[in-house]
């Protein structure tokens, strides 16, 4: 492949895989079973990124393993209703077209594991998107580094990645033991906890012991997403919950111990001093069908005062439509937005000034990415804000 | 003048020659180099105001946003890319950028041997300073 006998597209991909292997000291390449590609929103890619993808597709780049896509910069079908400018929309469509030409399914979701891309325990994969990387490594027990756009794509085109970092056993041991002493009452508490851990451990692997709390696995997506945003945590273990921690002792012998007994510093850091809410954003990472069902029950027969956008994968949106949840939410004035996320969509252009969310990751990024003032709290409080247009500040 | 030959490690295979432009500091391409002029625009950077186009760009390593790979690609599309890149120790952003932009690149070179203004060529892993 490296010599170019399979064409320039594969040669370029192999050059990337091999160069990264050299840089990170890998001694071999390993086959991957799936890839999640980031670098989809035109807002992040720009014209240069689009030109590059088109050129690579035209040279014959095709993926060899099941490959899914990260969120785009808009709902690919309902972009007009959301007020996305036409010039942006056309370029975003061209990005998707280039990926489609490479054989990638345009899932456009940060939760590929909810829409069929579910690697098994111990499988080597090459995933981009920090929250998905965290979920694949930690909750599924698959093995991936935090890939970038071109490196994930190169792995998909060659079917290989360099074996370094989290592909190797020794790097999956935890360097921090995080003893969590406070109760975790909501998904927002899990996000707040993740925010604090990410700040402290940066890119290391933490091992968490939680107080008599065994979350079902889906809320773990919000924990991992927050750790990956405030730090660069690509793998964590939870005693008795995540699969590797159930199979073996994943704590390094010299692990540093820390205690978290108070989540209020996270809530203080992630809340701006505002009460009036323009937009309530749920679905970072993308909402599951269960979360959408819960929202539908909460807003049924009511009328919202603030905009409510629930971001999710298109497949999940279709299921929510079939189950009637979407009609209930729309009747209240909310909407399900597919294919995108408010971190990568150009929402700064849509006139919203304040945002409430139950996602610590969204609360972390929205002020810098979109210039919004943000309130962060549990789903219940966010839905209350959607119903009243206000989110009271705790004294 | 005698020629000096240095050996490095190939990141992007190829041949290049040009006049060296040496930075003692790392370079971040996104926001650091203007893709439409090739000029280093990072405030306070030792190369601020210099144009990278056609030069053999020599610097310790890359820094900054991963989108910087695409800045190198855009420089190449605009005909303003460096002719070659030499690093002390390469990292992923510049390495991927050099590969997708088709810029010959080597690392693990003792860059203290190279001065701005030297005529330098790259041929695979061999760097020759005139």
DSSP letter at A160 equals E
Question: If pLDDT is split at 50, 70 and 90, which confidence band does B66 have?
Answer: confident
- Is A2 within a domain? no
A132 and A87 within one domain: yes
User: CA–CA distance from B75 to each of B4, B37, B85 (Å)?
Assistant: 29, 8, 13
- Is A395 within a domain? no
**Residue A125 maps to which CATH number?**
3.30.499.10
For chain B, the average pLDDT equals: 95
ipTM: 0.91
- Is A1 within a domain? no
So what's the pLDDT on residue A214? Answer: 60
Task: Answer whether residue A273 shows pLDDT above 70.
Answer: yes
So what's the pLDDT on residue A215? Answer: 58
A144 and A177 within one domain: no
What is the percentage of chain A residues whose pLDDT exceeds 70?
Answer: 98
**Residue A310 DSSP SS3:** strand
Mean pLDDT across B85-102: 95
Mean pLDDT across A234-259: 94
- Is A97 within a domain? yes
A19 and A134 within one domain: yes
Residue ranges of E strands in A89-230:
126-128, 146-147, 160-162, 174-180, 206-209
A278 and A372 within one domain: yes
* Contact at CB, A45 and B70, closer than 8 angstroms: yes
Task: Answer whether residue A348 shows pLDDT above 80.
Answer: no
- Is A393 within a domain? no
Interface of A with B (CB under 8 A): 12, 15-16, 19-20, 22-23, 44-49, 51-52, 56, 148-151
* Contact at CB, A52 and B13, closer than 8 angstroms: no
Q: Which of A23, A49, A56 is closest, CB to CB, to B70?
A: A49
* Contact at CB, B70 and A46, closer than 8 angstroms: yes
Dump pLDDT digits (tens) for A24-83: 999 999 999 999 999 999 988 889 899 999 999 999 999 999 999 999 999 999 999 888
Where does a domain end: A251, A267, A283?
Answer: A267
Q: Which of B66, B73, B90 is closest, CB to CB, to A48?
A: B73
Count of the separate structural domains present in chain A: 3
A148 and A21 within one domain: yes
Q: Is B62 on the interface with A (CB under 8 A)?
A: no
Q: Which residues contact B60 (CB under 8 A, 6 or more apart)?
A: B23, B24, B25, B26, B87, B88, B89, B111
For chain A, the average pLDDT equals: 94
A153 and A12 within one domain: yes
Q: Is B29 on the interface with A (CB under 8 A)?
A: no
CB contact at 8 A, A306 and A385 = yes
Question: If pLDDT is split at 50, 70 and 90, which confidence band does A253 have?
Answer: very high
Which residue does chain B place closest to A44, by CA atoms? B67
Dump pLDDT digits (tens) for A153-192: 999 999 999 999 999 999 999 999 999 999 998 999 999 9
Mean pLDDT across A90-113: 97
Residue B11 with chain A: CB contacts under 8 Å: 19, 22-23
- Is A3 within a domain? no
- Other CB atoms closer than 10 Å to residue A329's CB: what's the count? 22
- Is A394 within a domain? no
Which residues of B does the annotation mark as catalytic? 65
Task: Answer whether residue A395 shows pLDDT above 60.
Answer: no
So what's the pLDDT on residue A141? Answer: 98
B3 Cα to chain A: minimum distance (Å):
29
Mean pLDDT across A211-221: 73
Task: Answer whether residue B59 shows pLDDT above 90.
Answer: yes
A250 and A376 within one domain: no
So what's the pLDDT on residue B73? Answer: 95
Residue with token string 């945002």: A355
So what's the pLDDT on residue A217? Answer: 64
Q: Regarding predicted confidence, which is higher, A207 or A84?
A: A207
pTM of the entire predicted model: 0.93
Mean pLDDT across B89-105: 95
Where does a domain end: A245, A267, A289?
Answer: A267
Question: If pLDDT is split at 50, 70 and 90, which confidence band does A369 have?
Answer: confident
Q: How many CA atoms lie within 13 A of B116 on its CB side?
A: 10
A306 and A371 within one domain: yes
Give the whole-angstrom CA distance, residue A263 versus residue A190: 9
So what's the pLDDT on residue B1? Answer: 62
* Contact at CB, A23 and B67, closer than 8 angstroms: no
A215 and A93 within one domain: no
Burial of A178 by CB count in 10 Å (0-12 exposed, 13-18 middle, 19+ buried)? buried
Which residue does chain A place closest to B36, by CA atoms? A48
Considering Cα of A225, then A229, then A230, then A235, what sign does the dihedral take?
A: positive
Tokens describing residue A180:
């969590």
A332 and A276 within one domain: yes
Considering Cα of B21, then B27, then B32, then B35, what sign does the dihedral take?
A: positive
A135 Cα to chain B: minimum distance (Å):
22
Among A6-10, A252-256, A339-343, the least confident range: A339-343
Q: Is B99 on the interface with A (CB under 8 A)?
A: yes
Task: Answer whether residue A286 shows pLDDT above 90.
Answer: yes
A253 and A180 within one domain: yes
Considering Cα of B93, then B33, then A44, then A356, what sign does the dihedral take?
A: positive
Domain that holds residue A252: 173-267
Mean pLDDT across A224-238: 95
So what's the pLDDT on residue A282? Answer: 97
Q: Is B121 on the interface with A (CB under 8 A)?
A: no
Mean pLDDT across A280-298: 97
So what's the pLDDT on residue B126? Answer: 98
Strands A279-282 and B119-123: unpaired
A158 and A12 within one domain: yes
Which residue does chain B place closest to A21, by CA atoms? B92
Where does a domain end: A168, A197, A232?
Answer: A168
Residue with token string 């906890």: A193
Q: What is the largest CA-CA distance in chain B?
A: 41
């Amino acid at each position: 492949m490296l010599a170019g006998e399979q064409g320039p597209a594969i040669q370029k991909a192999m050059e990337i895989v091999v160069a990264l292997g050299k840089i990170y000291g890998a001694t071999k390449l390993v086959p991957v079973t799936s890839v999640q590609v980031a670098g989809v929103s035109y807002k992040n890619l720009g014209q240069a990124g689009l030109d590059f993808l088109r050129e690579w597709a035209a040279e014959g780049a095709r993926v060899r393993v099941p490959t899914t896509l990260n969120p785009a910069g808009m709902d690919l079908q309902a972009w007009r209703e959301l007020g996305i400018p036409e010039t942006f929309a056309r370029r975003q469509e061209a990005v998707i077209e280039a990926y489609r030409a490479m054989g990638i399914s345009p899932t456009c979701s940060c939760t590929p594991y909810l829409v069929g891309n579910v690697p098994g325990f111990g499988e080597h994969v090459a995933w981009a998107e920090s929250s998905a990387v965290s979920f694949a490594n930690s909750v599924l027990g698959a093995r991936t580094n935090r890939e970038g756009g071109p490196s994930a794509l190169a792995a998909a085109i060659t079917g290989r990645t360099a074996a370094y970092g989290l592909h190797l056993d020794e790097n999956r041991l935890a360097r921090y033991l995080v003893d969590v002493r406070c109760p975790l009452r909501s998904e927002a508490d899990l996000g707040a906890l993740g925010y604090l851990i990410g700040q402290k451990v940066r890119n290391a692997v933490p091992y968490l012991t939680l107080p008599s709390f065994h979350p079902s696995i889906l809320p773990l997506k919000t924990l991992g997403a927050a750790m990956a945003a405030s730090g660069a945590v690509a793998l964590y273990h939870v005693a008795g919950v995540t699969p590797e921690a159930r199979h073996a002792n994943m704590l390094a012998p010299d692990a540093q111990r820390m205690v978290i007994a108070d989540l209020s510093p996270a809530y203080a850091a992630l809340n701006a001093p505002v009460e009036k809410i323009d937009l309530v954003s749920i679905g970072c990472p993308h909402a599951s069908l269960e979360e959408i069902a819960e929202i539908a029950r909460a807003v049924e027969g009511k009328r919202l005062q603030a905009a409510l956008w629930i971001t999710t994968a298109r497949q999940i949106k279709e299921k929510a439509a079939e189950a009637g949840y979407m009609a209930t939410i729309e009747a209240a004035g909310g909407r399900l937005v597919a294919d995108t996320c408010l971190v990568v969509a150009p929402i700064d252009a849509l006139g919203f000034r304040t945002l409430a969310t139950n996602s610590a990751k969204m609360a972390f990024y929205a002020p810098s990415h979109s210039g919004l003032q943000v309130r962060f709290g549990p789903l219940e409080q966010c839905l209350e804000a959607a119903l009243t247009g206000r989110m009271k500040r705790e004294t | 003048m005698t020629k000096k030959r240095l050996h490095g490690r190939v990141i992007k295979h190829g041949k290049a020659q040009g006049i060296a432009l040496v930075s003692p500091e790392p370079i971040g391409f996104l926001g650091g180099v203007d893709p439409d002029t090739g000029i280093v625009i990072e405030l306070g950077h030792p190369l601020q105001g210099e144009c990278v186009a056609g030069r053999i760009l020599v610097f310790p390593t890359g820094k900054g946003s991963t989108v910087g790979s695409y800045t190198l690609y855009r420089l190449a599309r605009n005909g303003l890319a460096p002719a070659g890149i030499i690093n002390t120790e390469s990292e992923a952003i510049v390495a991927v950028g050099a590969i997708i932009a088709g810029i010959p690149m080597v690392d693990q070179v003792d860059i203290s041997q190279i001065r701005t203004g030297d005529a330098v060529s790259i041929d695979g892993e061999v760097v020759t300073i005139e």
